[in-house]
Structure 1
Amino acid sequence: MFKQAATYNSITNLQEYTKTVTAYISKSITVCQSEAVAGGGLQTTEGPRAAYSSGDEEGLRTARANLSCGIREAKREYSRKIAHRFSSDTRSLWRGIQTIMDYKPSRQNCESSTSLLNELHDFFARFEAHKSTPAHKTPPPPVDQVLTLTRDSVKRSLDWINTQKAPGPDNIPGRGLWDCAAELTDVFTDIFNTSLSQGVVPMCFKATTIIPVPKKSSPSCLDDYRPVALTPILMKCFARLVLPPLLLGPLPVCISVQPVNR
């Protein structure tokens, strides 16, 4: 459906195709998370509330007993979780103590204006600002074969996603891609192969969110910030699939030898 909407005169607009698919996935994940949070609170009180509204005393007692059992089981589960965290390693122990004591480090004072952000942007992009050569697409030789990815390889790449990694600018978490790997394999196999056949990487895959992380507690200059790039997880999967064939495949090497005057 998304590919058909982005196809004009038998030519697929890869940018529109990829943008609509990723935007739909991000919106669906956001809606599912909101419904899960809202449904979790209603599930525990729906039984007693319905029994009270209908005037069923026996049902009300049963619903209250079930609610009490659920609360006790949740407390036991949380106790087991805390005990496991304490017994795993020292780092987890310290984090558990911070959680129980509600310890929060002192917040650093930041400038309210955007001047610091603009200065950091210019500082991190100072090497790119001097590049005057525009990027251009080199047409491949007609004898070269276009790399084609299989459905199984894309499925394995989605299964290998680290769910603890932060999402990129597309706001698609790795947990959502990992859980729905079977459903998303076909569409991303088609997107990746279309990108390889056209020789173009979607712009939404190349977008990056730069997070300035202070190198020390009280940064005094721009060099005291370390830029951490958050790239889309889908681009990491794509790069993981394309890199091995490029490294293992036969690459033509042209060597030009110049005579040396002695």
Structure 2
Amino acid sequence: MQSVRCCFSVPSMIVCNCQLYPIRGKVKRECRRAERRWKKDKLHVSFQILKDCWHRYQNTVKEAKREYFANIISSNCHNPRVLFRTIDTVLNTPLNVCLEVSPEICNDFLNFFIEKVVTIRALITAPDSDPSVSVPCAAVFTQFELVTLSSLEDVVRHIKPTGSPRDPVPPQFFKEIFPSIQQYVLDIINSSLSSGVVPANFKHAVVQPLLKKPGLDHTVLANYRPISKLPLVSKVLEKIVFSQLKDFLDENGIFEKTEVLVFGPSGPCESSSVVLGSLEVYFKSVVTDLGFKLDSDFKLDNQIRAVVKSSFYHLRRLARLKSFLSRQHLETVIHAFISSRLDYCNSLYVGVSQSLLSRLQLVQNAAARLLTGTRKREHITPVLASLHWLPVNMAAMRPARIPVDLALQMIQGGWDEEPIGGFDSESDISDIEDPDYCPPH
């Protein structure tokens, strides 16, 4: 039986820039010319010329990469989403690793994914109420609305051009020719919405296994996750249905999420210590609101743990790009990826134990060392002062009490004799030195 080749995507650090090719091609041709000359005469001078050409080639590529990143960072310094997507693309450019597979291996993948779904469903607990018993509802969604041509054009314009290998035409080409076929697509979409039936072809997905993380053993099925690729028109229908359902849930207040957090006078509170009644099912020991994790004992250890983990992860990634970035652009990226995480809702850190704040301080110290190249055994306080970075504990207090100028003077070990704006007397300064000081909210 003839085998087929199945391609899987794994990440690798490769920079692909079409603007780099003309310059790189010229220098690379010089390297090949010098290499052929050295192989022909085997002279030491030819070998030295080859080394010089190779170093010039490496420097050319590095400079082109530096210029490429500088343009992106400069134009998107206030857009962290673009910076994250760019750096993620650079560090995780997919490589095609071709594996010799057979129908038996495909069946193994199929059985493995089916067993995984069955296991997950078995872990889902059954609801307490009987689903067959009808419950009176304040609002009922009875019918989808037909979409207009302008609404359909807007959905197609913003949809990501990805689809299934079984699509009649590539997704990008579909978007380009959509003006000539838009009426036919509109008829298909509205026919499905009015009848409440999804065409059978829209339900057929091509499942592609992808490695969960780079470097995992590609022969172990558990290291893959299934990615379902639906037809592009099916995704258009899915977005229209989602939009109408979401509008209905928002208008009737059905989509609201309820979580109950109980605060006690001393230490965390369990749900059994208070009578919550119908709210018992919504009790949580930790809730997340606007990306901030809040616990019942208000120690904020879960939030700080998440910030530290995420920050060090991004620091390790940024360290791989340091050789391609100038100091100015590296500082911009560090502010976007690290400082923004340390500063987010940092006024809530006032009163948190020093042991937890010290973990956040380690993140800031590591970011400063990465930016300035400071060694691990060197003092970090002068480095933070030179960068005008407030330590974490002072940054947390600054929104409530401390002006920036005074905080920087405190880092450097002193301040002017005259009080700085915001402080009425020396007692205000002595309050800040008090470890039990908590500014008013």
Shorter-normalised TM range: 0.3 to 0.5
- Asked which structure has the greater RCO (Cα within 8 Å, sep 6+), the reply is 1
**TM-score in terms of structure 1 length:** 0.48
**TM-score in terms of structure 2 length:** 0.30
Q: Which one has a bigger Cα radius of gyration?
A: 2
